[in-house]
Amino acid sequence: MAKLTESFRNIFKIQELRQRILYTAGLLIIVRFGSHVTLPGIDAAVLAEAMRNQAQNTLFSLYDLFVGGAFSNAAIFALGIMPYISSSIIIQLLGAVVPYFQKLSKEGEEGRKKITQLTRYGTVGVSLLQAWGVSVQLSSISPTGAPIIPLDVQGFGFQLSTMIVLTAGTIFMMWLGEQITERGIGNGISLIIFIGIIARFPNAVLDEYQLVSSGARGLIVEIIVIGMMCLIVAGIVMVTQATRRIPVQYAKRVVGRKIYGGVTQYIPIRVNTAGVMPIIFAQAIMFIPNTVLTFFPDNEFLQSLAGYLNYTSLPYSFVYGLMIIFFTYFYTAVAFNPKDVAETMQKQGGFIPGIRPGKHTSDFIDNILTKITLPGSVFLAVVAILPAIMVRFGVTSNFASFFGGTSLLIIVGVGLDTLQQIESHLLMRHYDGFMKSGKIKGRRF
C-alpha cells in the first residue's frame, strides 16, 4: 500500500505527466457536462418520466450505457462516440475487400491520414442518419399524454436542428478524443466510452440497494448473485487472455568465426486475438435495425418486430452471439496473417520443427489459429450476452450491464492501457512504477 501511495505521489512530481493527466481529466469533464445539456425544444421533466417508463431493458438502454446516460437525457452528446466507431468498422470492413482501401493501408503515414479523413466523413454521415432517427423517436414519445416536444416545436425545423446539434456533438467528442490521445494520457476514444460507463456505476449500485432494501430480494441472494457474476466473468476474461505458443527454431549460421542462430523462440497466439472488437462490431450492426425502426413509430407490425430485438430476448442473444463468433474470425484474419508470419520466418532463417517452410508453415499456423479462435469467440459471445441472462434472473438492467458484457472488457482494457502509459512515463524518469516488473499488459480497442 505504501508503494502504491508513493507511485501516485511520483505521478505529480513529473510536470509533463501531471499536465497530461490534468488535461485529460479536464476534457473528460467537458464530455460529462455535455451529457446533461438537453437538446433545445424538449421538456426535460416529461422526458425523465418517459425514460423511466419506456427505456428499461431495451436495446436503447444498452446504448445509453455507453454514452453515459446522454441518450436518456436527450443531450447534445446523445449519440456519443458510437457513430465514429461504426464508421471505423465500415472502413475496416472495406479495407478487407476493396482494393482502394487495401492500397491505402499499405501507403504508410499518408495512407493512414487518408483513412482517418474518410473515417471522419463517414462519422458525419452515420451521425446524421442516427440523429434523424432520434428526432423522429423523440417526437413520438408522450408518456403522460403530453409529448416531450411541444406541438408548436415539432416538425421539420426541430428535426433539422436536432440532426445538426447531435452531429456537431459527435464530431466535437471525436475531436476531444483525438486531443486526449495526442496531448493527454491514454487512448481518447476509449477513455470517453470508459468514463461514460463508469458514470453509471453509482446508479447501478443504487438500483440494487433499493431492490434489497424494499424486500424484493434477500441480502444473501444478492451476495450470491453478485459473487456468481464476478466469478463467471473473471473466469471468462482469464480464459480469453490465454495463449498458445508455437516454437520456432532458427538454424545456425556460421559467418567467419561467429555462429549465429541455433536458438528457439516462440510465436504467441492468443485465444482471443481480436480483443473486444468483435463485440463492438456486432453491437454496432445490431443497433441498425432499431435505428431504422425509429422512423416508423406508428407501424404496429414493425414495433412488434422491435420486441424481438430487445437485448434481453432469446432471438437477440442468439443472433448477437453468432455475429460475435463470425466477427471474431473475421477480425482475427485481418489482425493476424499466417502467410506474412511464415514469409517473415523464412526470410530470417526460422522454421517450425517438423514443418516445411513456406506454404506448409502458413497452413500449420492457420490451422492452429482456426482451432483456438473457436473457444475464444464462444467465450466472448458468452461475455456479451451475460447481462441479458442476469436480467432474466432478476438483476437490474443497469447493474447487469455494468458488470457484464462489453462494459467489463472496456473497463479492464482501457484501465490497464492507461495505467501502462503512466507506468512508462514513471520508468523513463527512473521512478518506481505500479508493478515491480515495470510491465503491465494492457489492451486497446
374-394 pLDDT, tens digit each: 888 888 888 788 777 777 766
> By the 8 A CB rule, do 190 and 409 touch?
no
C-alpha 317/C-alpha 355 separation (Å) is 41
Q: Residue 267 pairs with which residues in a beta bridge?
A: 246
> By the 8 A CB rule, do 249 and 353 touch?
yes
**Averaged pLDDT, groups of 10, the chain, 445 residues long:** 67 82 92 85 68 54 65 79 83 79 80 87 89 78 63 74 90 92 86 83 76 75 73 65 73 52 71 75 74 66 68 80 87 80 79 82 86 84 79 70 66 76 77 52 41
- Cα–Cα–Cα angle for 277, 109, 184, nearest 5°? 65
**Neighbouring residues of 48: CB distance < 8 A, sequence distance ≥ 6:** none
Q: Which three cell numbers stand for residue 76?
A: 447534445
CA dihedral sign of residues 153, 156, 157, 162: positive
Q: Give helix 156-183 / helix 188-199 axis angle, nearest 10°.
A: 120
Q: What is the pLDDT of residue 29?
A: 92
Per-residue CA distances from 145 to 46, 51, 58, 142, 400 (Å): 10, 14, 22, 5, 32
C-alpha 137/C-alpha 424 separation (Å) is 47
C-alpha 161/C-alpha 164 separation (Å) is 5
Specify the residue for cell string 488535461. Answer: 23
Specify the residue for cell string 523462440. Answer: 265
Q: What is the pLDDT of residue 445?
A: 39
> Strand 264-270's sheet: what is its strand order?
264-270, 243-250, 350-351
- List of domains in the chain: 15-199 (1.10.3370.10), 201-403 (1.10.3370.10)
The strand ranges marked E within 72-174 are none
Nearest to 95 by CA among 106, 110, 83, 108: 106
Q: Residue 247 pairs with which residues in a beta bridge?
A: 266
Q: Which three cell numbers stand for residue 216?
A: 424484493
Q: Which three cell numbers stand for residue 442?
A: 494492457
Q: What is the pLDDT of residue 152?
A: 61
3-state secondary structure of 350: strand
Q: What is the pLDDT of residue 124?
A: 92
C-alpha 208/C-alpha 434 separation (Å) is 33
Q: Could you report how far apart the first and last alpha carbons of the chain are, in Å?
A: 31
CA dihedral sign of residues 94, 96, 99, 100: positive
